[in-house]
């Protein structure tokens, strides 16, 4: 009976094997499902697919991601539990194990963390106070290139105002007439805005050019204090009028001091030199005629009732003076006589020029008048 069953089983196995051999390919049984391969993917892949992964992915060190994170966490916690000396030893061992590329990475990572802007960490007022101790404008200019924050600090008017005070760059106030704004004009805040930084830059450039732009031949410092109010240079002399009532004369070739003319009772605000004859005028309302060779005053001409502010010579005989009394006077300086009084201006006569028999004068009344010297009247 057992034999018969074996015979039956063997015949059944034979028939099954024959049946499997005759089945079409698409009707073959599907193999058991693998976790990374589904039946859908198995039948629907249009192109050959990569081999299924039977193990989870690993990183370059051979650890799966979870194990790597656990290892990093353990190292970090161990490092935090060390004292300072142990940390230094560990870091030294790690750095000794690094190659050049890794050391460059460490350097680039650490360098920004070691830089600290001390001005940025301080209050703005304290930062500006620190910068106020810098007196050299070139140092401030270089400091403005450090960072955008430093540049914004150095654009503050407080720093440049203090620098203007230290260098004695005083601001000149001018009272300009106010005009009604036009529809296309800029706002008054933009037009009238004053910048101490721009003011310092202009004054510093001018002063530097005066000091280093040329070669100084001679410098003469008067023993008595005074401001130079008028000056003229010719082929032989340099004549300097001072507000301390004196006139100094220097040699034009070497700049050496020659002599001083004294006699005015006020500051000398106007002078003219021609053919060894010098004419001067000033705050004492007098016009004086000098002989430069002998340094003596030849004539003292009276008539103006206010400061003589301008003066011109036609030749060594005729001179014209303009005053704050709004008049011009034509003088014969050889004989010391008044020839003509030219009136018409409504304010101080500030400047004039002579050409032939014509003298043109300009005044604070915003007008220029043309006068004929020989006849003494205004032509236009």
Contact present, 197 and 151 (Cβ < 8 Å): no
What pLDDT is attached to residue 364? 93
Which residues have C-beta within 8 Å of that of residue 290, sequence separation ≥ 6?
247, 261, 277, 278, 279, 280, 296, 297, 298
Partners of 113 in the β-ladder: none
What pLDDT is attached to residue 15? 45
What pLDDT is attached to residue 166? 85
Partners of 341 in the β-ladder: 329
> Of how many residues is the chain composed?
380
What pLDDT is attached to residue 115? 77
H or E stretch covering 130 = helix 124-131
What pLDDT is attached to residue 40? 44
Q: In the 8-state DSSP scheme, what is residue 297? A: E
Segments of the chain with pLDDT less than 50: 1-23, 25-26, 33-45, 54-55, 174-191
Contact present, 191 and 179 (Cβ < 8 Å): no
- What would the pLDDT profile of 159-184 be if each residue is shown by its tens digit? 888 888 888 888 765 444 444 444 44
What pLDDT is attached to residue 66? 75
Question: What domains, with CATH codes, occur in the chain?
Answer: 79-114 (no CATH), 228-378 (2.130.10.10)
């Amino acid at each position: 009976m057992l034999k018969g069953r074996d015979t039956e089983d063997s015949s059944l196995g034979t028939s099954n094997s024959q049946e499997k051999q005759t089945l079409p390919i698409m009707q073959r049984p599907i193999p058991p499902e693998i976790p990374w391969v589904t039946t859908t993917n198995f039948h629907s892949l249009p192109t050959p697919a990569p081999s299924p992964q039977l193990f989870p992915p690993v990183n370059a060190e051979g650890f799966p991601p979870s194990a790597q994170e656990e290892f990093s966490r353990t190292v970090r916690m161990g490092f935090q539990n060390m004292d300072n000396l142990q940390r230094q030893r560990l870091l030294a061992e790690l750095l000794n194990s690094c190659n050049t590329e890794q050391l460059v990475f460490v350097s680039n990572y650490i360098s920004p963390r070691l830089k600290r802007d001390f001005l940025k960490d301080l209050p703005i007022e304290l930062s500006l106070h620190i910068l106020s101790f810098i007196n050299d404008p070139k140092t401030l200019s270089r400091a403005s290139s450090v960072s955008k924050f430093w540049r914004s600090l150095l654009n503050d008017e407080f720093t440049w105002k203090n620098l203007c005070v230290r260098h004695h760059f005083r601001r000149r106030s001018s009272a300009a007439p106010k005009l009604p704004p036009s529809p296309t004009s800029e706002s008054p805040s933009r037009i009238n805005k004053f910048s101490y930084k721009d003011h310092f830059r202009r004054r510093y450039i001018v002063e530097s050019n005066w000091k280093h732009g040329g070669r100084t031949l001679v410098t003469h410092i008067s023993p008595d204090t005074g401001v130079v109010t008028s000056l003229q240079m010719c082929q032989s002399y340099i004549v300097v009028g001072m507000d301390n009532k004196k006139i100094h004369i220097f040699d034009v070739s070497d700049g050496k001091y020659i002599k001083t003319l004294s006699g005015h009772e006020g500051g000398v605000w106007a002078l003219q030199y021609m053919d060894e004859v010098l004419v001067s005028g000033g705050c004492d309302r007098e016009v004086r005629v000098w002989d430069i060779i002998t340094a003596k005053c030849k004539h003292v001409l009276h008539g103006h009732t206010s400061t003589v502010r301008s003066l011109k010579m036609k030749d060594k005989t005729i001179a014209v003076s303009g005053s704050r009394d709004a008049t011009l006077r034509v003088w014969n300086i050889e004989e010391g006589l008044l020839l003509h009084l030219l009136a018409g201006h409504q304010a101080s006569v500030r400047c004039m020029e002579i050409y032939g028999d014509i003298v043109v004068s300009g005044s604070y009344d915003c007008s220029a008048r043309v006068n004929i010297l020989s006849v003494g009247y205004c032509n236009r």
